[in-house]
Structure 1
Amino acid sequence: MAEVLVYVDHADGAVRKPTLELLTIARRLGDPVAVALGAGAEATAATLAEHGAVKVLVSEAAEYADYLVVPKVDALQAAVEAVSPVAVLVPSAAEAKEIAARLAVRIGSGLITDAVDLEADAEGPIATQAVFAASYTTRSRVSTGVPVITVKPNSAPVEAAAAAGAVEQLSVSFGEKSTGTKVLSRTPRESTGRPELTEAAIVVSGGRGVNGAENFPLIEALADSLGAAVGASRAAVDAGWYPHTNQVGQTGKSVSPQLYIANGISGAIQHRAGMQTSKTIVAVNKDAEAPIFELVDYGVVGDLFTVVPQLTDEVKARKG
């Protein structure tokens, strides 16, 4: 059966959820072959095997941590040459998308980014994308070379499917450009204990209607009751009410959770572009004419300062 390369996103051997989703998708196209790089790469093998990886190509060279991006492109190029896959799948994250783009140039292939679905076809995988601020849905395929495709988190369920997961060392030759940009220091991001925004199954966001940084704990309390990530509109971020890293929208992060709850967000196209592919959308806004209500599955016309605490209390009560 044809093989499909899957780039593994992990932290010291702990595989992140988008990679497990990719393995589910990869099985539609062929036999998944995972590529794990950096410290802890071999430790990923058991998890990857549990989710369908027939092989795990590993390389733990120091270059992946010491230098930016290019060594990982070298490794994926080596994997493509070793496996001759029908496609290369990469999570849609900032660094991973840069790796995918550079790889596509290296191997002379077409690139599709931010796919929300993939299906097998005799002429090559067909990718579904939401484009032009999610106003249109397109279906496309790469016509040149080995397709390199980045897939949005939450585009598929995580499904266990035991496979061999045989570990093989990947031989990588690093080019001169690999050491062009050296990492001098790293500062760990302070953990909030909440899920990563782009990976979360539930996102609770606040906008201009929250009316100040001092009121964002209302949004955080609802998010914590649901085990959700916290997002913010551009208006809230620009006003300094919440960190830019939590901005959802065209100039922020794009999310596609199972449930998106927008509180005090009008629904300008800038924001919609970053969350319109969410599976279920709920909005709370006291303006019945707010554009966000054109998009939602469920809308509550009401004051968020009344609705959100009541919703939080109800969630907590039902959880016991």
Structure 2
Amino acid sequence: MTVLVIAEHDNNSIKGATLNTVTAAKAIGGDVHVLVAGANAGAAASAAAQIAGVAKVLHADGAQFADGLAENLAAQVLAVASAYSHIVFPATASGKNVAPRVAAKLDVAQISEITKVVSADTFERPIYAGNAIATVQSADAVKVLTVRGTAFDAAATTGGSAAVETVAATADAGTSAFVGREVTKSERPELTAAKIVVSGGRALGSAEKFNEVMSPLADKLGAALGASRAAVDAGYAPNDWQVGQTGKIVAPQLYVACGISGAIQHLAGMKDSKVIVAINKDPEAPIFQVADFGLEADLFTAVPELVKAL
């Protein structure tokens, strides 16, 4: 039994979600191989070889992989798939784009966002916005999985000494082309990787108030800024700040929820946080049910006082 992890990288270094995925792959059992498909991605392949627990790195290099087009990456995965019992992706935007294509071509069922490995063919995954956990057993010859990174610790980036094997790169599929990318630059930590996240909800009332109240707290804590879907839909915060079932899944060391009621869709995105602090003037707000520390107060008074105290 051999498990193939599809690495997420920037052609120079391995992204954090891959490390969590390697931990899940090790829990399945057998050897763990990592596929690095990129353009001039030798540095990323070398970094993958250093990850603790990785037995081999497959390195496919070609200009067609430069921008991570799903069609080209899926073709490369399929080219080497026959040697593996499990093909495992991070449950990121990229992984969710490629994994279904691979599963469909292999004519197997994908098992999405696993949070626990029970055995080599049995896994746990959340359903109903995380309110229930399904135990799924697969009889498919090849298991195609995506891994929710917040459920697994990151593998160590050093300690491994895997061999790097060059594999033939598949041709450009020709069915899509990279046009451009607009990247939001921020001095704050990236939301899904931040150790501290400060989130605001609809109670803030406007984009101006969101920035006025939440930014000083995030700056004091060195935190990433997040928002509930209601705040995003109302235009108080950009889409890439949304935390929840239809946004980003986070599990920081500290999550501070200000003016967020705690709908199940939002809780699904942050309830695995190590310490949850809730500030809300509604004593019946569901967020208090999952909070480690709750403050029943007006956020417009409490948050500035907290900033001063820090």
TM-score, normalised to structure 1's length?
0.87
1:212 alignment counterpart: 206
Q: Distance in 1 between matches of 2:228 and 2:58?
A: 40
Work out whether 1:302 is the aligned partner of 2:305.
no
Listed one character per residue, the Cα deviations across residues 108-147 of structure 1 (whole Å, up to 9, x for unaligned) are 222111122224x2xx243222210111122223221211
Q: Distance in 1 between matches of 2:271 and 2:306?
A: 23
2:180 alignment counterpart: 185
Amino acid at match of 1:234: R
Work out whether 1:194 is the aligned partner of 2:171.
no
Match of 1:144 among 140, 143, 149: 140
CA contact (8 A) 2:198 2:223 kept: yes
User: Runs of at least 4 residues of structure 1 off by over 4 A?
Assistant: none
1:12 to 1:45, Cα distance in 2 relative to 1, 3 A: closer
1:164 alignment counterpart: 161
Amino acid at match of 1:36: V
What are the residue-to-residue correspondences of 1:305-316 with 2, within 5 Å? 305-315=300-310
Amino acid at match of 1:108: D
1:281 to 1:67, Cα distance in 2 relative to 1, 3 A: closer
Listed one character per residue, the Cα deviations across residues 165-193 of structure 1 (whole Å, up to 9, x for unaligned) are 21111223337xx2111122333x13112
What are the residue-to-residue correspondences of 1:10-159 with 2, within 5 Å? 10-28=9-27, 29-52=29-52, 53-65=54-66, 68-81=69-82, 84-119=83-118, 121=119, 124-159=120-155
1:318 alignment counterpart: none
Amino acid at match of 1:110: A
Q: CA deviation at 1:92?
A: 0.7
Q: Secondary structure at the match of 1:58?
A: strand
CA contact (8 A) 1:248 1:254 kept: yes
Listed one character per residue, the Cα deviations across residues 30-81 of structure 1 (whole Å, up to 9, x for unaligned) are 3221111112422123332332222111112111236831110011112222
CA contact (8 A) 1:67 1:182 kept: no
CA contact (8 A) 2:126 2:134 kept: yes
Work out whether 1:273 is the aligned partner of 2:274.
no
CA contact (8 A) 1:207 1:265 kept: yes
CA contact (8 A) 1:152 1:256 kept: no
1:115 to 1:224, Cα distance in 2 relative to 1, 3 A: farther
Amino acid at match of 1:143: A
Match of 2:219 among 196, 201, 224: 224
Number of residues of Structure 1 aligned to a counterpart in Structure 2: 306
CA contact (8 A) 2:23 2:154 kept: yes
Identity of aligned pairs, percent?
A: 40
Q: Distance in 2 between matches of 1:26 and 1:67?
A: 22
1:93 to 1:67, Cα distance in 2 relative to 1, 3 A: closer
Q: Distance in 2 between matches of 1:241 and 1:158?
A: 33
Q: Secondary structure at the match of 1:173?
A: coil
1:87 to 1:310, Cα distance in 2 relative to 1, 3 A: farther
Q: Secondary structure at the match of 2:237?
A: coil
Give the root-mean-square deviation of aligned CA atoms. 2.2
Q: Secondary structure at the match of 1:157?
A: coil
Q: Distance in 2 between matches of 1:302 and 1:71?
A: 52
Q: Distance in 2 between matches of 1:75 and 1:305?
A: 52
Q: Distance in 2 between matches of 1:167 and 1:209?
A: 52
TM-score, normalised to structure 2's length?
0.89
Listed one character per residue, the Cα deviations across residues 187-207 of structure 1 (whole Å, up to 9, x for unaligned) are 3x1311223223333322100
Structure 2 gap segments, 5+ residues each: none
1:116 to 1:193, Cα distance in 2 relative to 1, 3 A: farther
CA contact (8 A) 2:121 2:139 kept: no
Amino acid at match of 2:12: G
Listed one character per residue, the Cα deviations across residues 236-289 of structure 1 (whole Å, up to 9, x for unaligned) are 112211112211233333333343221101112332333334343221101111
1:252 alignment counterpart: 247
Q: Distance in 1 between matches of 2:274 and 2:135?
A: 19
Amino acid at match of 2:170: S
CA contact (8 A) 1:66 1:182 kept: no
1:180 to 1:107, Cα distance in 2 relative to 1, 3 A: same
